[in-house]
């Protein structure tokens, strides 16, 4: 059974999982879904699934403990450097949570360093929405 066979639910689940550390390409499924389903519903479903996955990453970071980093031998200077960067850019970093690999880390870092969750979630949603919207506009233009 393929993701597309699950319809919108499959797109939601795949988009959610793709926003975590599970290596999935929600963009590829999104494009395939555009050929078979309503594009605007696909945009909504993919954005919601991917955004909730990003918020999960934030939550996992929030649950993190600085002592865990010390146990895996991350130097305090490195932690302070990360904290300074997160404090400098704040929730704006969440706009880039859609980026492969680094986006997941950014969302976790925002939670770990306790950046305001309302702003972080808003920017996570906005960044992921804009990414899928860009793909949708390109699809509609090429079609």
- pLDDT digits 0-9 by tens, 7-63: 999 999 999 999 987 878 899 999 999 999 999 999 999 999 999 999 999 999 999
Q: Which domain holds residue 137?
A: 3-142
Q: Is the pLDDT assigned to residue 77 strictly greater than 90?
A: no
Q: Is the pLDDT assigned to residue 70 strictly greater than 80?
A: no
Contact by Cβ (8 Å): 39, 50: no
Nearest-angstrom CA–CA distance, 112 and 89: 15
Contact by Cβ (8 Å): 84, 94: no
Average pLDDT of every residue of the chain: 90
CA 7 centroid distance within chain: 21
pLDDT of residue 84: 86
Tell me how far apart the terminal alpha carbons of the chain are, to the nearest angstrom: 27
CB-based contacts of 137, cutoff 8 Å, min separation 6: none
pLDDT of residue 1: 58
How many domains does the chain divide into? 1
Q: Which residue has the higher pLDDT, 16 or 4?
A: 16
pLDDT of residue 119: 95
């Amino acid at each position: 059974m393929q993701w597309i066979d699950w319809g919108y639910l499959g797109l939601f689940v795949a988009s959610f999982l793709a926003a975590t550390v599970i290596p999935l390409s929600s963009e590829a499924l999104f494009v395939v879904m555009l050929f078979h389903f309503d594009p605007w519903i696909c945009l909504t479903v993919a954005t919601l699934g991917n955004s909730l996955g990003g918020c999960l990453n934030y939550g996992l970071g929030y649950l993190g403990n600085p002592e865990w980093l010390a146990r895996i031998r991350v130097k305090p200077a490195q932690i302070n450097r990360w904290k300074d960067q997160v404090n400098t850019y704040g929730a704006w970093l969440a706009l880039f949570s859609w980026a492969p690999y680094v986006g997941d880390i950014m969302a976790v870092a925002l939670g770990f360093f306790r950046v305001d969750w309302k702003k972080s979630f808003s920017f996570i949603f906005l960044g992921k929405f804009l990414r899928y919207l860009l793909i949708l506009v390109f699809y509609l233009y090429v079609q």
